[in-house]
Structure 1
C-alpha cells in the first residue's frame, strides 16, 4: 500500500509513499490547528491596518488570504494521505487543491517580497518614493501578483493530474519521473517565482540593516528589534522555501529515470512539507511584531478579560463598557500594557533624515 506507478503508458515506476502516511498527517494537523486561528487573527489585524490607510496592511491581508486558501485545502490532502494516497474526489478538485498547494508558495513569496521592499522604502527613503507607498499602489501590485499566479495555474488545468497506480489508487498531482512539460514550468517557478524575489528580498533587507546602523537618532533597543526581525524573516524564508526549490531544480535537471525519482522522493516531499509551515510563520513575523498590532492585541486581551470577569461574577447584562472598567470596580491592565509597548517600540525624535520614521516598520 502507498506505492505509486507513474503512468500506465510508460514503464512502471513504483515508489514507496511511507512518508505520506507518517510525517505528512502530523504536519497537516499541526498547521490546521495552529495556522487557521493564527491567520484568522492576522486577517483581522490586516483589516485594521487597511482601515488605518496603511499600505503594508494590504500586503499582510493578501498574504493571509493566500495562506487561508491553502489551509482550507489541507483537509482534502489529509484525507488523501490517510487513505494511502487515494484521491476520492473528482479530477477537477485534485487540480484545484494542487494549484492551491503550489501556487500558495509563489503568492506568499510575492507578497513577502512586496513587504520587504515597502519596509526598505519606509526606512531608507522615508521622504522619497511616497507614491509607491500608498494604498492604491499596494492594491494595484496585489492585483498583478494574483493575476500572474492565476494565469500560471491555467497551465496545470491543461494536463491530467490524476492517475491510477498498481493498487488501483487514484494518485493526485504526482508524476514519476517528471514529464517534459513539468520541467519547463519548474524552471519558470525556480527562476521567476523564487530566485528573482529572493534577490530582491535580500537586497531590500541589506538596505534596511544599513539604514538602521547609520541612524543616530534611534534607541539601541529599537535597532536590535529591527535587526532581529530582519534576520528571522530571512531565516524563515530560506528554511521554508529554499530546500524545496533546490530539490525542484535538481529533479528538473537530472530526473530522467525511475531510480533517480525513487532516491529523491523522500527528500523532495520533506522539503514540500516545510513550505506548509510558512502558513504558521507569516502571522508571527508580519503581524504580531508591529506596534499597532501589539496595541490591538492589548485591547482584545483586555476585552476578553473583562468579558470573562463579568460572566463569572455579574453576568453579561452588567458588563462594563470597554475602556471604562472603573465603572464596575474592576481595574484594567490595558493602560499599563500600552505604556510598556509604546516605550518598547518608541522612536525618539531626531533631525530630518537621521532617525527612522516611527511607523517605518509598523
Structure 2
C-alpha cells in the first residue's frame, strides 16, 4: 500500500474513535442489491436513451448522461464493498480512494443536474410548446451536458487537492471520512446543499407544478393519462426527496454542529444511512425516466412479440426437422398399418354381430 498524503493540517490521524459496525452489516447488503439491480436496469436505460438520440430527441442526451453517471458509480461499488468488508480499511492507494470517493459523491450532483434538465425540458414541452425552441434542440442539450460535467469536474479538482486517506485510532486506512469534519469541508458542504440540492429541488418543483396545472386544465387529455402523469410527477419528487433530502440535511447539521468527537459519534450511524439512501438513485432513475414512459412499454411489447415469434420459429423448425428425420421404412410400415386398420375393425364388428345373433336365436 502506498504512503498516504498528509492533510491540510499536517496530521493524518483521526482523534475520534468511531464504531463502524454499520458498515459491516447494512452497507454490504445495500451495495450488492444496488449493483445487482442497477447494472442491468441502467444498461437498458442507456439503450433506450440511445434510441431516443437516434430519433433526434434531445431528452435522450440527458437520459444517456444520467445513466452514464449512475454506471460510473455502480462500477465503483465493488471497491467500496471490499472496503467495508475489511473493517473500513482501504486496501488500495490514495489516488483510487479519491476516484471512488468522487464517483460516490459527485454522482449525486451529476444525477441531480440531469434530473433538473429533464424536468425543465418537460416543462418547456408541455407548458410552452410553441416557445423556447432553441433550448429544446440536440445542440443545446449537448452544451448543457458539457456544462454540468465541467462544473462537477471543477468541484472534484478542489477535493483532489486534499488527502482523503487517513489513519484512525486502530491504524485503519479510512477513505473519504473525517471525524470531526475538516475546516475546508464546511464551505464545500454549504455549497453542495444550496447549489447541489436546494436550488435544483426548487427548479424540479416549479417545473412539475407547471406541468400539473396545464394537465389539470387540459380537457382533451384523458383521465387515465392525467392520473399517470400525476403519479409520475409525484413519485419523481418523492424519490428525489427520499434519496437526496436526508443526506443534505445531515450534511448541513454536521457542518454547523460537528466540532467534537461526541457529536460525531452520535450522528455517525444516521449520517451513513442517509448516504446509503443516495445509492438507490441508481435504481430509481431508470424506472422513473425510462421504464415509465409509454414508448418504453411499446418497445417492451415489441421485444416480447419478437422473442415469442423467434421461439415459435424455433419450435416449428424443430418439429419439421424431427419429421424429416423419421426413417422411410417406418413411415411406409405405419402407412400400411393405417390402411389395414379399417379392414380389421370391420372384421371385429362382424364377429360381434354373429355372437349376438347366435345368442338371440338360442333364446
TM-score normalised per structure 1: 0.83
Aligned residue number for residue 189 of structure 2: 186
The alignment status of 1:69 with 2:90, answered yes or no, reads: no
Aligned residue number for residue 214 of structure 2: 211
CA drift of 1:271 comes to 0.2
Aligned residue number for residue 83 of structure 2: 80
The alpha-carbon distance between structure 1 residues 167 and 11, as it changes in their structure 2 partners (threshold 3 A), is: closer
Q: Find the aligned partners of 2:111 and 2:142 in 1 and give their Cα distance.
A: 16
The alignment status of 1:295 with 2:305, answered yes or no, reads: no
CA contact (8 A) 2:181 2:255 kept: yes
The alignment status of 1:50 with 2:53, answered yes or no, reads: yes
Deviations 1:73-105 (A, max 9, x none): 000000100111111111100000000000000
The alignment status of 1:116 with 2:88, answered yes or no, reads: no
Q: Find the aligned partners of 1:165 and 1:40 in 2 and give their Cα distance.
A: 38
CA drift of 1:185 comes to 0.6
Aligned residue number for residue 102 of structure 1: 105
Runs of at least 5 residues in structure 1 that lack an aligned partner in the other structure = 1-5, 319-362
CA drift of 1:28 comes to 0.4
The alignment status of 1:28 with 2:31, answered yes or no, reads: yes
Runs of at least 5 residues in structure 2 that lack an aligned partner in the other structure = 1-6, 322-363
Q: Find the aligned partners of 2:164 and 2:230 in 1 and give their Cα distance.
A: 44
> Quick check: 24-33 or 292-301, which moved more?
292-301
TM-score normalised per structure 2: 0.83
The alignment status of 1:127 with 2:125, answered yes or no, reads: no
Q: Find the aligned partners of 1:42 and 1:309 in 2 and give their Cα distance.
A: 28
CA contact (8 A) 2:89 2:172 kept: yes
Aligned length: 312
Which structure has the larger Rg? 2
Give the superposed CA RMSD.
Answer: 1.8
The alpha-carbon distance between structure 1 residues 73 and 80, as it changes in their structure 2 partners (threshold 3 A), is: same
Q: Find the aligned partners of 1:278 and 1:224 in 2 and give their Cα distance.
A: 24
Aligned residue number for residue 346 of structure 2: none
The alignment status of 1:246 with 2:254, answered yes or no, reads: no
SS of match in other structure, 1:163: strand
SS of match in other structure, 1:16: coil
Q: Find the aligned partners of 2:316 and 2:167 in 1 and give their Cα distance.
A: 61
Q: Find the aligned partners of 2:315 and 2:24 in 1 and give their Cα distance.
A: 45
The alpha-carbon distance between structure 1 residues 137 and 9, as it changes in their structure 2 partners (threshold 3 A), is: closer
Q: Which of 263, 274, 281 is the aligned partner of 1:278?
A: 281
Q: Find the aligned partners of 2:306 and 2:252 in 1 and give their Cα distance.
A: 50
The alignment status of 1:266 with 2:269, answered yes or no, reads: yes
Q: Find the aligned partners of 2:121 and 2:198 in 1 and give their Cα distance.
A: 19
CA contact (8 A) 2:215 2:226 kept: yes
Q: Find the aligned partners of 1:270 and 1:102 in 2 and give their Cα distance.
A: 14
CA contact (8 A) 2:83 2:89 kept: yes
CA drift of 1:11 comes to 6.9
The alignment status of 1:15 with 2:18, answered yes or no, reads: yes
> Quick check: 91-100 or 289-298, which moved more?
289-298
Q: Find the aligned partners of 1:269 and 1:230 in 2 and give their Cα distance.
A: 28
Q: Find the aligned partners of 2:60 and 2:301 in 1 and give their Cα distance.
A: 19
Aligned residue number for residue 336 of structure 2: none
